[in-house]
Amino acid sequence: MKSLILLSMIYWIQTVALSAQSAYEIWFAAGSVTHHGLIRAGENGKVWQMRVKYTDAGCRCERLIEQQMQAEKTNLGVRLSGHSVRDVISNRLTRDYAADRLYLYYDREGNVWSQYLDEQGISGKAVLKPLDAAGQAEKMRAFGW
């Protein structure tokens, strides 16, 4: 019983700690395409936003995609599930970009670890870098916020 209570407290602390950091720079690859983005927590830590830049091989152009992310506690940490995916440049919902899912958790040393998975089942490692206030302002401008 004590271990169950301790485990519950660890998950709660992870959720609070992840949402307390307001923005992260993120890198991941879907297949052979590298994505670079910015992810930020909402007011209550349950609704996040992510903007991702990548080069679309079809049009040979850079795309900027935004999606809402719903945070949910899981047995591994926090899952962020994307929805309402839109192309920022055209300001329209897009069907040619699969919503992303990220799994975030802290290890005992406080490092953030993450795993990427999209709706099509493509998975891989995601790298997250917490941003301080100055870095956050700079990246927010770079991603059009």
Pairing of strands 23-30, 123-130: antiparallel
Q: For 84-105, how does the pLDDT look when each residue is reduced to its tens digit (9 = 90+)?
A: 999 999 999 999 998 999 988 8
pLDDT band of 112, cuts 50, 70, 90: confident
According to DSSP, the residues that pair with 104 across neighbouring strands are 78, 114
């992810």: which residue's tokens? 39
Domains and CATH numbers, the chain: 2-142 (2.40.128.120)
Question: What pLDDT is stored for residue 118 in this prediction?
Answer: 74
| Residues 107, 112, 114: CA angle, nearest 5 degrees | 105
Q: For 40-58, how does the pLDDT look when each residue is reduced to its tens digit (9 = 90+)?
A: 988 778 899 999 999 998 8
DSSP one-letter string for 6-29: HHHHHHHHHHHHHHHS-EEEEEEE
For 74, the token pair is 């899981």
- The pTM (predicted TM-score) of the whole model is 0.78
- Distant-in-sequence, close-in-space partners of 55: CB < 8 Å, separation ≥ 6: 33, 61, 62, 63
Please check whether residue 27 is in contact with residue 126, taking contact to mean a CB–CB distance below 8 angstroms. yes
Over residues 64-74, mean pLDDT:
95
- Distant-in-sequence, close-in-space partners of 60: CB < 8 Å, separation ≥ 6: none
Q: Where are the alpha helices (DSSP H) in the chain?
A: 2-20, 133-142
Mean pLDDT of all residues belonging to the chain: 82
Least confident of 54-63, 66-75, 97-106: 97-106
